[in-house]
Structures are given as C-alpha cells and as structure tokens.
Amino acid sequence: MTDTFTPESTINAVVTLPPTVTASGDETADGAESPPREVVFDLNGVEVYYSGFRAVTDVNLDVTRNEISAFIGPSGCGKTTVLRALNRMHDLTPGAVVKGKISYHGEDLYGAKVDPAEVRRRIGMVFQKPNPFPKSIFDNIAYGPRLNGTRKRSALDDIVERSLTRAALWSEVKDKLKSSALGLSGGQQQRLCIARALAVEPDVLLMDEPCSALDPIATARIEDLMEELKQDLTIVIVTHNMQQAARVSDRTAFYTAEADDQGKRVGKLVEYDVTERMFTNPSDPRTEGYITGRFG
C-alpha cells in the first residue's frame, strides 16, 4: 500500500463563495467572504475531440476539496466526456484527444511526465453500470491493493473490511466474502464497486451516473454514502437526475449541447455555481429552462 496521497504542489486558489454556501465553518460571521478552499481540479478551456469530432468545448471550472460537484445536462452535452477527462480514461479510447489545461492540485494532469496509471490510482471511478469483476467479493476489493503490492493476507483482510464498511456493504456480505460478486443485487454490486474504488485510498471519486441502474432505495443508500465519503475525499458526479444533484451536491455544473458556426452540435458548460443558487436563482436563462423542465 502506498502512502495516502499528498499533493506536491498545492494551490490554494481563492474561490469566492457566496454566503449561502454549504459546508459549515465556511462562512464568516457577517456572511460576506468565506475562507479560500483548496482546488482539486482546475479546468481551463478544456475541449475533448473524438476522432476529429468536437464533443465538448470551452469548459472552465474548479472542483474544490471535500465537496460534491454534480454535472447535469441533457444527453450528448458532454458531461460524461468531461468526467472521463479527469482521470485520463480518454487515453484508452483511440482517437480521443483532450485539449486545454486540466490541473490536479496544481499539476498538469496531461503533463509529459505524468503516469496515467498513477493518475487513476488517485482518482477513482465508479461507472454507470456496476462492473464487478467475475471474481469473489474479497478478490474484487483486494484487486487494487494487490496492484499496489499488498500481499499479506492480514493487511488485505483489514483493507477489505474497512472498504466494505465505508461503502456500507460489510454487514450484508461479511459472511460470503468468498462467493462470486456477480451473485449480489444491482445496488450491492454498485456499492461493491465503490468499495473497490475506496480500497486504493483515492483522493477523488468520479461517479458516472452511479444510480441510473438502481431503484430508489439503493439510490438513497448511495447518496447517504456520498455524503459521508466527502469528509475524506472529493466527489464529482454525473447525473441525469436533477433532484439527485440538488440533494447531494455542493456545486452544480450545467452543460448543454448547441450547434456551432458549422452547424455541428457540441457540448458546452453553461453555468457552474453553488447548487442552491443554481436551483433557485440561476444566472443563465438556459439553466433555468432546463431546471424548470422547459427543455432537455
């Protein structure tokens, strides 16, 4: 197990937060300016191309530490594309190119000396469809730690129990760690995937519509879980469900797809703000239109 990640160069960018903000202790007594928060991701003019086709353009936003940022927007607006740029998953898609600058704790994520495997170890991901490996529950969780060289059985036992507990799954599976992960229900499988991601002690968790295949009860459990997890890490979630974004997130980014000058549809970031303000008083009419259900 490698040590938990400490950013070599931490940028304390000053983010001006409105008085209505979220996390307690953030606001000053007079409700004017809140203290600076640590920026985890700083996206500057990010564009993603798939084999020459521009999928999303002009994304500028900061993701701050110990917060949940939600990406919402209609289908094809590029929200998942931006999410996958944050842990370099696009490296695996032939023809996909990320332009612009993405800084992670001040370091260029796409810099020449950056190792994508190392990036993904620190920036975990949970996918839309639960994707447990066709292995036992134990081996699923132990997969990441084993990558990092943890071989000792007792150490693995500890990590498996801790990760499953953090993902609120331990009590349900503690007696059947040896049985196949494929025998779990959809909601359990998704929590297993979260536990699997947590087992490598990530700094960030990216979640790509993690609840879209789950029923409301399983969804509520995952949302509760996210609320707890943000004490230790930073979460970015893509969701189709606006209520979910309103419920769980601290900040919301609204994307939409619009035709460019050549008539091709391209995804764009419309607005990024504190969730409460996005849902009560958005500054862009397109955001308001989407949130009130007039389009999308």
Partner 1 sequence: MATATAPPASLPPSPEPSMLRPRAGTGRRRFKSGLATFFIVLTFVIALVPLVLVVAYIVSKGADVISKDFLTDDIAFSTRSTEGGIGPAIVGTIVITLGATLMAVPLGVLGGIYLNEYGGASKFASLVRFLSEILTGVPSIVMGLFIYTVWVLPRKGEGLTGFAGSLALACLMLPVIIRTSEEMLKLVPRELREGSLALGSRKSRTIRTVVLPHAAPGIVSGALLAVARAAGETAPLLFTIGAATSANWNLFKGPNNALSLQIYGNATSPFEPAVARAFGAALTLIVIVFIATALARIVTVIYTRRTSGAS
- Does position 120 interact with partner 1 (CB under 8 A)? The reply is yes
- Does position 217 interact with partner 1 (CB under 8 A)? The reply is no
CA–CA dist 50, 54 (Å, integer):
6
Q: What is the DSSP string of 224-253?
A: HHHHHHTTTSEEEEE-S-HHHHHHH-SEEE
- Does position 266 interact with partner 1 (CB under 8 A)? The reply is no
128 sits in which H/E element: none
Positive or negative CA dihedral for 95, 100, 106, 112? positive
- Does position 67 interact with partner 1 (CB under 8 A)? The reply is no
CA–CA dist 238, 261 (Å, integer):
28
Q: Rounded to the nearest whole angstrom, what is the least distance from the CB of residue 246 to partner 1 in the complex? A: 27
Residue where the block lists tokens 């495997």: 117
Q: Rounded to the nearest whole angstrom, what is the least distance from the CB of residue 245 to partner 1 in the complex? A: 22
Q: Rounded to the nearest whole angstrom, what is the least distance from the CB of residue 195 to partner 1 in the complex? A: 12
Among 21, 43, 200, 291, binds partner 1 (CB under 8 A): 200
- Does position 94 interact with partner 1 (CB under 8 A)? The reply is yes
- Does position 49 interact with partner 1 (CB under 8 A)? The reply is no
Among 65, 101, 135, 265, binds partner 1 (CB under 8 A): 135
The tokens of 59 are what?
Answer: 């994304």
Q: Rounded to the nearest whole angstrom, what is the least distance from the CB of residue 239 to partner 1 in the complex? A: 18
- Does position 138 interact with partner 1 (CB under 8 A)? The reply is yes
Among 72, 109, 193, 248, binds partner 1 (CB under 8 A): 193
The side-by-side arrangement of strands in the sheet containing 123-126 is 107-108, 96-104, 39-50, 53-64, 265-274, 251-259, 68-72, 234-238, 204-208, 123-126
CA–CA dist 219, 245 (Å, integer):
12
Note the residues at the interface with partner 1 (CB under 8 A): 87, 89, 92, 94, 117-122, 124-125, 127, 129, 131-139, 143-144, 147-148, 178-182, 193, 196-197, 200
